[in-house]
Amino acid sequence: MGLDLVYINGQTPLDEDEKEALLIPTIASREELDEFEQHNIEEAMQWVLSRPLTAKTILTEKFICNLHQRMYGDVWAWAGKFRKTGKNLGIDKWQIPTALKILCDDTYYWIQNKTFTADETALRFKHRIVSIHCFANGNGRHSRLMADVIIGKVYKMPLFSWGTDDLVHEGKARSNYLQAVRAADKGDFEQLLRFARS
């Protein structure tokens, strides 16, 4: 097919079979791919943020996969389907459905019992779903939109700003974001909480 992708720090490389699932054969560069994906993501954001949703609806495998499919379904054939390959991040592929169900149940419990603040609940969900790494690619962007859905729909609060800068390309914002995620990996969510609202 000829799609040659350059990956930056923190991005999950696609294997050759996953690259073959590109639905737009004219895409030849990372810049073109980013442009098509961004357009698809913006449509998904309009769709998800314009509908009434509850925690019970959001915290399901069906909703999570549907949102990923809406974010990437015009670009990738594997959009919305759990990955079938091992990655540089995440759990074994066969563990994904169970780990995701546990995460959804935990998050519903946190919401019902006010275990954490609204922001921390949404960001703990975001952090854990990335560590599961459900999909072949797009997990970071999907996790941030899921956090926005939780904070906006469940808590009726303003969406996160995510540093207001581009997190897809190399730069200070991405570096700060990854540093905050690494701190959360160690159980310290303060940097991620600050970054998400900066």
Active site residues: 133
Helix (H, G, I), strand (E, B) or coil at 65: helix
DSSP state of 76: B
First-to-last alpha carbon distance for the chain, in angstroms, is 40
Among residues 79, 82, 58, which one has the least CA distance to residue 68?
79
Tokens read off for 112: 């019902």
Tokens read off for 35: 């442009």
Bridge partner list, 76? 22
Beta-carbon contacts of 112 under 8 Å, excluding residues fewer than 6 positions away, are none
Phi, psi of 22 (to 5 degrees): -65, 125
Q: How far apart are CA 126 and CA 139, in angstroms?
A: 10
Q: How far apart are CA 100 and CA 96, in angstroms?
A: 6
